[in-house]
Structure 1
Amino acid sequence: MKKIINKPMDVVGEALRGMELAHPELLYTPGYEVISRKEKEDKVAVISGGGAGHEPAHAGYVGKGMLDAAVSGNVFSSPSPDRIGDAINRMNSGKGVLLIIKNYSGDIMNFGLASDLAEAEDIQVESVVVKDDVAVPDSTYSTGRRGIAGTVFVHKIAGAKAELGGNLKEVKAAAEKAIANIRSMGMAMSPCVLPAVGKPGFVLEDDEIEVGMGIHGEPGVERTRVKTAKETAKILLEKILEDYDYTGSEVAVLVNGLGGTPMMELYILNMEVQKLLEEKNIRAYKTLVGNYMTALDMTGCSLTLMKLDDELKELLDAPCDTPALKIR
């Protein structure tokens, strides 16, 4: 294993401290592994989080126009309720807190417990659950669909609505509208190496890919031979369109790398995706290409579409300033 780390047990805290040093507008809370906006705003607080190893998610989306705080667990492990509770207490301005949760069993349980504890202290808390992965109905880690890269769009929509002064009910409604219109599909070409383990979590042969693999290495729907960018785009998009009909719609597109895939390849994939969208009368309104929700050093990608209406377009275009996403 070759990684630029010190001790495997220290990677999460040291990475968050390094982020704080690079972005002085953010505040790192050691021990609780929370990255938050340094200044608490008089608005609904939007908080997300999950296991480390998906950088820039989730801490990279903390800042004006997106998240108020992100809570990190250990690598690929849900944050504990006390960590989540610290973020809630830290960022609550009295106007309530929205928790954005990916559909994994540990996250559902721990965010839910933290929410219950906060409500017992008279903090108004609401939650939404992202389940955008169309690959499999159930997985090793979740009951129902997994939450993957589409979560980034939910961060953006909810954060913009809160920044514009929406109340807790309105911010939750905007997030739920985004979730209802988001679908994602991914594939992996090689495994990732967990720092504490020091070896790959699974094996793919040199000429193999796994279609539908999750961001923790959960099983997908098919192992097959390596495909061209054109074939990959078709596989991912067809699976999404089997689940949700985007024909005639305007969409936001996210071509996401899993950490080890060069930008050159992601842009080639995007070219093929855009060709297919045009053929199917689906208009790409805004496209993001890059590493937005990764799986350490896994090579592979995911494709996400979000159907847009006037409200979602306005919120998508609203300014944001975070380490991982800036819209002016």
Structure 2
Amino acid sequence: MTVPTTRMERATWLADEGGLDAALDGHEFAEPLRLPLTEALVLGLLRQGVSKYLVIFGHGSTELGETLRVYEAAGLVRCYQFRNEVEMSHAGTALRLIYDEPCAVVTSIGPGALQAMAGSLAAASNGVGIYHLYGDETTHGEGYNMQQIPRPEQGLFGRLTAAMGGSYTLYAPGAVRDALRKGAATVFHPTKAGPFFLNLPLNVQPAEVVVRLDALPTRPSFSPLAPVDDDLVVRAAALISSCPRVAVKAGGGSLGAARQLRRFAEAAGAAVVLSPGTTGVLPDDHPQNMHVGGTKGSISGNFAMREAELAIVVGSRAVCQSDCSGIGWPRARQ
């Protein structure tokens, strides 16, 4: 299969094929392709189901912006223009948290990226997987770029983003597959998802990279975990049936299992105590929903924690917001 040679022709061809996955299913590609790095990145994100970009473009993201312009014109991606980076980060977090749609936040370089990074705290604290794509200083060692951190050191943004979550600086175009693989492992992790920051140096963005489209990393597959035998399940069922006062502590890990949590709580006759980030996992008017418990808790939530004789923790780390630093379950024996 011969692939068109220009970015615009490739985008049009992929759209006519029904998208990247359909093209890969319908054709065998004999040779790798030589693409601009930003196009390889956009195609790699498409393979992971990322087609929505929340953007504030600037001089640090013009090359990425050109690729997105071409691919949006072909109907393969959609860009949403924002005016505030914090708002943009929060909108991306809500898009993934509420509708389970992965997306990417795109900013330029300097203060815009810092604001987007501040907004990423919402994703980090709630375990929400989302890509952050930032422009970055060149790899030529000339120091900080316009409006970036004014210190003559390389890699400052990479150090900042690494403190916030998964982070990767694309110093060389050939590292794009490794960056996408590490990004997917963070953004789509089943229990410890979070923002993944991909810093794109100005001079690397337009550089060409040789890739095979079918070798671009897809979403990782995580096998479900279960007890090795039924003994633990039988013992747990016996404990639940023997305790008159059972409470379930529903942490952030329960967000993706609202239906199962409700069925379990109703079958066990258990009160459900929420964490600050899990309001909504059980309907607000459900009679077993005791709302938030812990240091930021409600009267009803803390009452349920105080009176419970059996505490069942679902997707929670049991930190101070969950158990008042170890004093929140005074009557629980199991």
**Alignment TM-score, normalising by the size of structure 1:** 0.29
The structure whose residues are more often strand, as a share, is 1
The structure whose residues are more often helix, as a share, is 2
**Alignment TM-score, normalising by the size of structure 2:** 0.28
Highest RCO, 1 vs 2 (Cα 8 Å, sep ≥ 6) = 1
